[in-house]
Amino acid sequence: MTSYKELSAKIAALMQQAEAQRKAEIAGVVQQIRAQMLEYNLTVDDLGMGSGRKSAAKGSTVAPKYRHPVSGATWSGRGKMPKWLATEVAAGKDKGVFFIA
């Protein structure tokens, strides 16, 4: 019966052997792929394997719901409340006063 250490050593040796074989075969595979791409007039973009990064979809613009009567600054009601509105609400004004009808 073989020990754990012996099996681990065999696994490590086989992994090194497999990696060496993989590296040896890569050149041939790449050459085959390039030849087929030339034969079918394909580009890298045709393969659909770009950088792997997708640009984030832009969110839709939301119409403003609140407007400051003096400065004309607006807020859509999404995200953090702007300073101008927070100041007015803290001063005791109702947020509904600034609502755009």
Domain count, the chain: 2
| Within-domain flag for 79 | yes
- C-alpha span between 10 and 55 (Å, rounded): 46
Structural domain of 75: 66-98
Q: Is the pLDDT of residue 49 over 90?
A: no
| Within-domain flag for 32 | yes
Q: Is the pLDDT of residue 20 over 80?
A: yes
| 8 and 41, same domain (yes or no) | yes
Helix, coil or strand: residue 25: helix
| Within-domain flag for 27 | yes
- C-alpha span between 50 and 32 (Å, rounded): 20
List, in order, residues 6 or more apart from 71 with CB less than 8 Å away: 84
Task: Confirm if 67 and 98 have CB atoms less than 8 A apart.
Answer: yes
**What is the pLDDT, as a whole number, of residue 54?**
66
| Within-domain flag for 53 | no
| 9 and 40, same domain (yes or no) | yes
Give the residue-averaged pLDDT of 48-76. Answer: 82
Nearest CA among 69, 57, 98 for reference residue 81: 98
The pTM of the full predicted model, rounded to 2 decimals, is 0.42
